[in-house]
Structure 1
Amino acid sequence: MNDYFSPHVLIIALTFFLAGFVKGVAGMGLPTVAMGVLGAIMSPVSAASLLVIPSFVTNFWQLFTGPNVLALIKRLWVMMLGIMAGTLAGSWVLTSANTAYASVGLGAALIVYAVHGLFAKPLSVPARFERPLSPVIGLTTGLINGGTGVFTLPAVPYLQALGFSKDDLIQALGLSFTVSTIALAAGLARGGAFHLGNITLSILAVIPALLGMQAGTTVRERISAATFRRWFLIVIAILGLELAVHPFLF
């Protein structure tokens, strides 16, 4: 019983509370924050395995926040297949012995995510390009997801560029994140990365993640979302830089 109150477990709980808080404020960011923080204190594959269940629960809830689930699945199913295939293909990086490469890849993905969010202009994808681009975006997102445990790029800016309404965008992101989480779980399981201890901690991490989401949702109504988002991205860039250079310094 005392193991559940060890400093290691408390750090995990605090991390998922923080990650849930960010998701509650910004509508996304739970895996980015969790992988960024936990990747600095444990191997990326261990961090990814802890991420799976709280990520699935929060994203599944987000997917069903509106009435257009079936319409979104019909529109985006090719992209979702690409995410599944790419994640399964790329998960060998996380589950292999090359954890240094996974750490560098995770750091690079976080830096790209942060820089894009800070400086890139919003994109717009014409309707005629959606069909050929969707499988490419899905496959690329899956490869990054499988190799780093971060499934925001390039799926998030692409979905934002498709011109969804606010509510449909939230659901589309929930769909992409849910499929990414399931695919990551399958890739980790195939590589033997799921152990009983990881599953137990992952289930327990749902509680602080949901508490953090509730707190973040409350705070979202009281602060400037633009200010929070800017500092959130700056912190993510710093975390990514530390992860990317760490294997070369120690």
Structure 2
Amino acid sequence: MDLIFNDLSGIAIVFAISVTLLAGFVKGATGFALPMIMVSGLATILPPDVAIAALIIPTVISNVWQSLRGGGIQAAVVVARKFKIYISTLLVFIVIAAQLVSVMPQHVILLMLGGPIVILALFILSGKTFHIRPDRRNISEVIVGAMSGFLGGLAGIWGPLTVTYLTALDTPKKEQVRITGVIFGVGAIVLGLAHVRTGLLNAQTLPLSLFMILPVLVGQTLGNRVQDRLDQKKFKRLTLFVLIIAGLNLVRRGLM
């Protein structure tokens, strides 16, 4: 256990597992927020770089499961093709931005991410909507994909902006959950490979990342049961509330 938890106390280990269970539960219920909850929670007892490394492997596994749940490979391929421009742009910018982790101040990154998410989520929750014209869909996916990838490569978090975009498009619940699983899964794989190169994911941090698979999947299983009982309207409202909480937490971390 010392190899996995880097000589943490028993209380700290219980806290780390509890945070990861919670992250998995919220992931199962809404389809996102796993990296945000894990990073913000684990970073209180671990160095930020170790906290980021810890989420990489469980994020890949949980998103593969999410993308295949309720439709299998064929359904995942269909939604991946539908959002291929967004996914391609996201991956390119994750690789580029991951090389800048040691350059940009983390508080700047967190404020850049948290503020807009809170504003957009409150805007949509208020009942107001905005629509993207079909002829502007491609350019909007490039812009939002680039922003998500850039912030994801820097902070390991690209979910909130992606989910805000999909929610604004009124994406049906099952399709939104499936496409976020695909997007987050391939993004996590690319981020993991990028951080193998940067040294963030190494022989010291890999055991912790592998260990965290179990509590994530247990939490996700419980969260899936909640998601299955939500209709489209309730799912959208729950998603927006989680976005607001996540955004405010990012702002808090940035200011502190």
Band of TM-score, shorter chain: 0.7 to 0.9
The answer on whether the counterparts of 1:106 and 1:149 sit within 8 Å (CA) in structure 2 is: no
Which residue of structure 2 lines up, in the alignment, with residue 19 of structure 1? 23
Which residue of structure 2 lines up, in the alignment, with residue 114 of structure 1? 118
The alignment yields a C-alpha RMSD, in angstroms, of 2.7
Match of 2:162 among 155, 161, 166: 155
1:166 aligned to 2:173?
Answer: yes
Which residue of structure 1 lines up, in the alignment, with residue 36 of structure 2? 32
The answer on whether the counterparts of 1:44 and 1:103 sit within 8 Å (CA) in structure 2 is: no
1:239 aligned to 2:254?
Answer: no
State the alpha-carbon separation in 2 of the partners of residues 194 and 159 from structure 1: 30
The answer on whether the counterparts of 1:20 and 1:213 sit within 8 Å (CA) in structure 2 is: yes
1:196 aligned to 2:203?
Answer: yes
State the alpha-carbon separation in 2 of the partners of residues 22 and 138 from structure 1: 23
Which residue of structure 1 lines up, in the alignment, with residue 86 of structure 2? 79
Q: Once the 2 structures are TM-superposed, how far is the Cα of residue 184 of structure 1 from its aligned partner?
A: 1.4
The answer on whether the counterparts of 1:82 and 1:138 sit within 8 Å (CA) in structure 2 is: yes
SS at match of 2:205: helix
Which residue of structure 2 lines up, in the alignment, with residue 132 of structure 1? 139
State the alpha-carbon separation in 2 of the partners of residues 97 and 11 from structure 1: 30
Against the structure 1 CA distance between its residues 8 and 122, is the aligned structure 2 distance closer, same or farther, given a 3 Å change threshold? farther
Aligned partner letter, 1:118: L
The answer on whether the counterparts of 2:30 and 2:177 sit within 8 Å (CA) in structure 1 is: no
Match of 1:9 among 8, 13, 35: 13
State the alpha-carbon separation in 1 of the partners of residues 166 and 240 from structure 2: 20
Which 10-residue stretch deviates more, 69-78 or 114-123?
114-123
Deviations 1:161-212 (CA, angstroms, capped at 9, x unpaired): 4454332222111111112211211221221111223111111111111111
State the alpha-carbon separation in 2 of the partners of residues 122 and 39 from structure 1: 35
State the alpha-carbon separation in 2 of the partners of residues 171 and 14 from structure 1: 26
Return the TM-score normalized by structure 1.
0.83
Unpaired stretches in structure 1, ≥5 consecutive residues: none
The answer on whether the counterparts of 2:121 and 2:244 sit within 8 Å (CA) in structure 1 is: no
Match of 1:88 among 92, 95, 99: 95
Which 10-residue stretch deviates more, 159-168 or 65-74?
159-168
SS at match of 2:250: helix
1:52 aligned to 2:56?
Answer: yes
Match of 1:146 among 153, 157, 169: 153
State the alpha-carbon separation in 2 of the partners of residues 173 and 122 from structure 1: 21
